[in-house]
Amino acid sequence: MGIWSKIRILWNLSWRKFIYYNFFCTKVVRKGKGYVLPYPNAVIDLGKDAQVILEDGHFVINDNKPSGSKAEAFLKLRENATLLIHHDVVLNYKATIEIHKGATIEIGSAYINSNAVILAAKRITMGEGILISREVFIYDADHHPIINASGEQLNLPRPVVIGNHVWIGLKCTLLRGSKIGDGAVIAANSLVGGKIKAGTMASGNPARSYSEIIWKG
């Protein structure tokens, strides 16, 4: 994070929330030099025994809001939920992270754009350098049970795993059990419900890899 980015963030922070969540809230665990950096209208709801763990990075909440806007970003952890952040994560305005009871989201580093929703009932794991476009939905569960005649649930939660340096395009949906390899790009409006090979471009419904990507630099 450059010096001018740091100055902009500090200038516009919600200082009351900054002081509370970094120095008084026992549900935020800062292990390194990182801080929770909430902009005005950042909505943070941490349930009983929930934890936000910052290993060594900042967590910016409600970033990039238009001047004069009252738009909100949402962070909601239910009872015993865990959000583990290793490096810098930015949650843009109108974006949501919600973690259900006992579930975990682990993020290396990520930029999460506006109107994206990340909702975990079990576990979502994201690597380093993740770019999530607007209106992306990432779910590890259907969040409504489908029961067969024997009383068994057919649609149990299944972890979502996103590798390093993955770009998820506009209006994509990732369903339970999705697994995206390192360096993959998911084209806009795609639906992912299975495995995407590392280093490939994928698109469609359901999404399929169709071209290899060679990253430079």
Q: What are the residue numbers of the active site?
A: 143
Distance CA 1, CA 45 (A): 26
Task: For the chain, give every domain's residue range.
Answer: 3-145+158-212
Structure tokens at 71: 């738009």
One pLDDT digit (tens) per residue for the chain, 217 residues:
566 666 666 678 899 999 999 999 999 999 999 999 999 999 999 999 999 999 999 999 998 888 888 999 999 999 999 999 999 999 999 999 999 999 999 999 999 999 999 999 999 999 999 999 999 999 999 878 888 888 888 888 899 999 999 999 999 999 999 999 999 999 999 999 999 999 999 999 999 998 888 777 6
CB 173 within 8 A of CB 206: no
Give domain 3-145+158-212's CATH superfamily: Hexapeptide repeat proteins (2.160.10.10)
How far the first Cα of the chain sits from its last, in Å, is: 19
Find out whether 109 and 57 touch, Cβ atoms under 8 Å.
yes
Q: Characterize the bridge pairing of strands 195-196 and 36-38.
A: unpaired
Report the predicted TM-score, pTM, of the whole model to 2 decimal places: 0.92
Eight-class DSSP state of 42 = E
Sign of dihedral through CA atoms 82, 30, 65, 133?
Answer: negative
Asked if 182 and 165 touch (Cβ cutoff 8 Å), the reply is yes
